[in-house]
């Protein structure tokens, strides 16, 4: 070893000990199968060379250099021959060492001035991602010097299908964003991009044979505002866009350069309004149709009785096949109402002719006919789990979204399965129950739930489990109108999913993951990804003292952060009050708080309006328990000074399925009362109804109550804030009864089921 190198290494070691980390293993996401730190360090800088032994890695090396150029400002020289004991570091792209290594496996051996990456083309791309994480974590601020510990890594994925989906139908996203989406996927070793290209609200792929699909179908005249469906409020802003075939080829190549396969989705027979608006002959009623301006499921679908529907779809698929070289074409199959088929002479004639049992069998015929066509062209279909209904097409892969049942059934029938159950991987669901969350479609899917997902259902046998090829995060964009909102919903939850899909089960540990995520967030910051910071951000807990005083306390996982807050509604800044102990909420106020790291705001803001009224913090008992998914956990939440927001999934709402609200507040002594209040949600689409009647009664002994206010009709508004004045009275107990609406009436979503009653905050003034 020459002296110069020794000095370089000592200097690096010194730097490393001072400013890097003291760790037992490398900090890689997703967690590798095997990694071990070795003595010494390796350094990369502008002089480092790449040795391209495995020529299959040429595109990956080009990718690496592009990445480095953007990040460090330099590219590395590519040479053909490794040097023994080189003077400057060489990154060797070598062939795979173990012939029987699993698909996509790679090895890294980093020592002194040699970083050897071993694998086939896909393995070496994965190795490059691991290398980039090591580099990002250990770069000097000017990136001239990148030093990390010598190490051995051997790694391969647990699942072969590691997917992310993007709905560009509900909102269109330009090519540059789609590329960025793919770029981010690549960092976490995803290998499949499911591109949802057609929807009721927009057709996004140019089809040369049918120009109206993009002339008409790619544009809607406006979009529903928030959740104002009934009565409908539109934004009067046309929304549209599509990808030309040239752009699609460009994206396909871009993804392939990152070892990502794209699965295009062309939806049928449902979610087809944009196609029908373009070519009304494709529908049962022949229209006229309009590209949808609101979200939901629409009765007008492709006519299954008309052969020209199939001619159209085959012609479309011919062009799709030309654009997408991957094995799979996704044909949708979900959420296809059968109402038009039931009335359509052609559809009914088809059922008679083929002796089909019903309209579900007709859907099965539809999918099987398309499958046969695509199989004939050497392609395989994937469909949403509804394609099980009426009989599964012989070679279909099932994407299980309405839970895991569809996937289980398909695996038991020896069909390949991709798991995408709503409860674990629908990244359009809320990730926090804070009422300050931006509007989302619903649900609740925090980071730890994604992380805890296990794609192989316990009830499958070992043999059946082999059909579970992997899982995918779904990103439906009804409530993601902007690129930054997509990133907010996807990251970091997609990173948690990457570990579900890649890492061995025994390597998973949520706490450890959060520590690695904290490091990775620095890269997300550098890349200006608008990721959600709940995992490290601030959490507010509201409690009451024995004396009925409401207290607000904060916590944060962020080491060294100071929490600063205001209680006058103003934005917390570096000079705002520092949080030291639980705050007393003695009067109505707006509290805003945020962690600050070195005087810089970090993470999500906590923001809460408190309304302090006479019952706030008092004793309350609800006779019935709310349903499990809509239970804030303690009756105190009925009087915690926080009102439920428009979002029925926020954690303030008490949701009673079939049951009434029957609650008694005990003030422990008589109090003067001049008015009552209570809030409800009214959202029949979500099976949530106002009560059939509401009454407030009072008592001095808690036994005999007299009615003082009641009401049995309610406005047609989503958020009902009921306020009722009474002639001033004095009482110790207040009883509130809100009668559940009962069974959902015919003609409404969920007809015949128990209605939900959503209640929050019982107010007394
Ligand atoms: C789906 O979420 N409709 C597949
Ligand atoms: Zn028809």
Cα 683 to ligand 1 centroid, rounded to whole Å: 21
pTM score of the predicted model: 0.82
Distance between CA atoms of residues 118 and 53, nearest Å: 10
Looking at the CA of 345, which ligand is closest?
Answer: 2
pLDDT at 24: 65
How remote is the CA of residue 139 from the centroid of ligand 2, in Å? Answer: 62
3-state DSSP: the chain helix, strand, coil percent, rounded to 5?
30, 30, 40
CB neighbours of residue 72 within 10 Å:
18
Distances (CA, A) of 327 to 101, 261, 319, 381, 490: 23, 9, 15, 8, 26
Ligand nearest to the CA of 302: 2
Contacts of 29 (CB under 8 A, 6+ apart): 133, 188, 495, 498, 499, 513, 516, 517, 520
CA of 476, closest atom in ligand 1: 2
Per residue in 188-234, pLDDT tens?
A: 999 999 999 999 999 999 999 999 999 999 999 999 999 999 899 99
Measure 764 CA to ligand 1 centroid, in angstroms.
43
Q: Please tell me the number of the ligand nearest to residue 366's CA.
A: 2
* Residue 461: strand pairing partners: none
Query: CB neighbours of 747 closer than 8 A, spacing ≥ 6?
Result: none
Cβ of 334 closer than 6 Å to ligand 1, yes or no, is yes
Measured in angstroms, how far is the CA atom of residue 677 from the centroid of ligand 2?
Answer: 51
* 403 touches ligand 1 (CB under 6 Å): no
Contact 501, 470 (CB under 8 A): yes
Cα of 313 vs centre of ligand 2, distance in Å, is 15
Identify residues whose C-beta is under 5 A from ligand 2, the ion: 284, 303, 305, 344, 346-347
Ligand nearest to the CA of 335: 1
Report whether residue 426 contacts ligand 1, using a CB cutoff of 6 Å: no
Tell me the residue ranges of DSSP E strands in 204-271.
219-220, 224-229, 232-234, 239-240, 261-268
Residue 343 Cα to ligand 2 midpoint, Å, equals 8
Residue numbers in the chain where pLDDT is lower than 70:
1-24
C-alpha 388/C-alpha 378 separation (Å) is 22
Mutate to test the pocket of ligand 1, among 331, 335, 445 (most ligand atoms within 8 A of CB): 335
């Amino acid at each position: 070893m020459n002296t110069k190198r020794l000095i370089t290494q000592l200097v690096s070691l010194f730097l490393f000990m001072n400013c890097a980390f003291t760790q037992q293993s490398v900090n890689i996401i997703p967690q590798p199968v095997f990694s071990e730190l070795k003595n010494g360090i390796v350094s990369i800088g502008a002089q480092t060379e790449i040795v391209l032994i495995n020529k299959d890695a040429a595109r990956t090396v080009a990718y690496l250099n592009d990445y480095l150029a953007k990040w460090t400002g330099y590219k590395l020289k590519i040479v053909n021959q490794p040097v023994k004991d080189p003077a400057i570091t060489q990154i060797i792209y070598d062939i795979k060492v173990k012939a029987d290594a699993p698909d996509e496996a790679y090895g890294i051996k980093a020592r002194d001035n040699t970083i050897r990456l071993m694998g086939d083309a896909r393995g070496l791309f994965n190795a490059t991602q691991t290398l980039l994480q090591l580099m990002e974590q250990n770069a000097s601020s000017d990136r001239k010097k990148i030093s990390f510990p010598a190490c051995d890594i051997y790694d391969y994925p647990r699942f072969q299908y590691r997917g992310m989906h993007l709905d560009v139908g509900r909102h269109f996203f330009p090519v540059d964003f789609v590329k960025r989406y793919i770029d981010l996927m690549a960092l976490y070793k995803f290998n499949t991009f499911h591109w949802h290209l057609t929807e009721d609200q927009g057709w996004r792929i140019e089809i040369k044979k049918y120009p109206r699909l993009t002339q008409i179908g790619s544009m809607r005249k406006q979009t529903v505002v928030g959740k104002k469906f009934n009565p409908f409020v539109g934004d009067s802003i046309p929304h549209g866009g599509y990808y030309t075939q040239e752009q699609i080829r460009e994206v396909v190549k871009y993804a392939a350069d990152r070892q990502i396969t794209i699965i295009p989705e062309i939806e049928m027979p449902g979610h087809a309004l944009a196609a029908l608006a373009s070519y009304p002959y494709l529908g049962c009623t022949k229209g006229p149709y309009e590209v949808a301006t609101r979200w939901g499921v629409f009765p007008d679908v492709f006519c299954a009785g008309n052969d020209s529907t199939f001619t159209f779809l085959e012609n479309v698929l011919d062009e799709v096949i030309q654009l997408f070289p991957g094995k799979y074409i996704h044909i949708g199959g979900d959420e296809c109402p059968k109402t038009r088929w039931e009335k359509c002479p052609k559809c009914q004639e088809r059922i008679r002719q083929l002796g089909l049992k019903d309209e579900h069998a007709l859907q099965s015929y539809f999918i099987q006919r398309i499958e046969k066509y695509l199989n004939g062209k050497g392609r395989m279909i994937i469909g949403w789990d509804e394609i099980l209904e009426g009989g599964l097409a012989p070679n279909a892969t099932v994407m299980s979204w309405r839970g895991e049942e569809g996937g289980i059934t398909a695996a038991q029938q020896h069909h390949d399965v991709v798991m995408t159950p709503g409860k674990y991987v629908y990244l359009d669901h809320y990730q926090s129950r804070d009422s300050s969350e931006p509007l989302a479609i619903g649900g609740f899917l925090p980071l730890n739930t994604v992380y805890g997902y296990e794609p192989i259902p316990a009830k499958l046998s070992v043999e059946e489990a082999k059909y579970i090829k992997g899982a995918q995060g779904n990103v439906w964009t009804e409530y993601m109108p902007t690129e930054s909102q997509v990133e907010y919903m996807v990251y970091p939850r997609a990173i948690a999913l990457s570990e579900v899909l890649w890492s061995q089960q025994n390597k998973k540990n949520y706490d450890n993951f959060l520590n690695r995520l904290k490091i990775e967030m620095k890269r997300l910051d550098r890349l200006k990804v608008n990721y959600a910071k709940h995992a490290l951000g601030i959490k507010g807990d509201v409690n009451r003292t024995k004396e009925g005083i409401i207290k607000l306390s904060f916590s944060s996982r962020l080491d060294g952060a100071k929490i600063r807050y205001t209680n006058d509604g103003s934005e917390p800044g570096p000079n705002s009050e520092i949080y030291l102990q639980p705050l007393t909420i003695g009067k109505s106020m707006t509290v805003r708080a945020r962690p600050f790291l070195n005087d810089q705001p970090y993470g999500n803001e906590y923001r809460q309006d408190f309304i302090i009224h006479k019952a706030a913090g008092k004793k309350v008992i609800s006779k019935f328990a709310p349903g499990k998914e809509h239970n804030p956990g303690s009756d105190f939440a009925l009087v915690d000074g926080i009102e439920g927001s428009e979002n029925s999934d926020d954690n303030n709402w008490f949701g009673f399925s079939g049951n009434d609200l029957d609650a008694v507040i005990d003030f422990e002594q008589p109090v003067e009362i001049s008015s009552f209040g209570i809030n409800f949600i009214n959202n029949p689409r979500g099976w949530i109804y106002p009560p059939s009647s509401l009454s407030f009664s009072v008592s001095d002994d808690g036994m005999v109550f007299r009615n003082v206010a009641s009401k049995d009709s309610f406005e047609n508004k989503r958020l009902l804030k009921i306020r009722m004045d009474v002639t001033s009275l004095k009482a110790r107990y207040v009883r509130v009864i809100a009668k559940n609406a009962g069974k959902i009436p015919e003609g409404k979503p969920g007809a015949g089921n128990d209605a939900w009653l959503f209640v929050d905050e019982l107010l007394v003034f």
